[in-house]
Amino acid sequence: DNTQNSFVPGIIIPKDKFVVCKTNGVDLKGLCSLSSDFTDSEIVSRINGSCDTAMKELQPWEDDEAPDTNPSLSLDDPTEGWDSGLMFQANIDKFNLRSTYNEELPEYTTRLPDPHSEGYEEKEKFAQRQAEAIEQSESYQSRIAKELKDGDEEFLYSAVLRADESKAQPPR
């Protein structure tokens, strides 16, 4: 296509196929010579089509709501940090948004009964008897024996098995 002003977004031409190359709107400054200093301003100045306007002066961020005292960085300090109740109330006041968050996370966990509730002790004893019966059953014991194969887990999973050292082993 020999149409003038046609735009080709990207093209690779072997160097032995052309004699003259004319480009419009391509900033080649800094593309061939790289300095050892890679500062943000140097990198930005190499960007194709970079503007020559002055860089914006950065201002340090200051938290207006930060306490004047030296805050503790300890995770154990209950006096510092955000109160979730206050955050949820701020969402209601500022944005009229009510959260469905529940600290007990019922969607992800099963709530355990209170150990002091009625029938808890009886259920706990029943569960203990069931566990003991399972562990003493013949099928459970045979599965454990298969896993351990006359040895313990240390022997089964950590032991290095070597050939009889009294016989010389040919090189492989």
What is the mean pLDDT of the segment spanning 123-143?
93
The model scores a pTM over 0.85: no
When computed from its CA atoms, the radius of gyration of the chain, rounded to whole angstroms, is: 37
The answer to the question of residue 102 being in a domain is no
pLDDT band at 53 (very low <50, low <70, confident <90, very high): low
Q: How many CB atoms lie within 10 A of CB 62?
A: 6
Q: Which domain holds residue 154?
A: 120-158
The answer to the question of residue 137 being in a domain is yes
The answer to the question of residue 51 being in a domain is no
Q: Residue 130 has what DSSP assignment?
A: H
DSSP assignment of 104-154 equals: T-TTT-PPPPPTTSTTHHHHHHHHHHHHHHHHHSHHHHHHHHHHHTTS-HH
Q: Is the pLDDT of residue 125 over 90?
A: yes
- Provide the number of structural domains found in the chain: 1
What is the mean pLDDT of the segment spanning 137-150?
83
Q: Is the pLDDT of residue 131 over 80?
A: yes
Q: Is the pLDDT of residue 54 over 90?
A: no
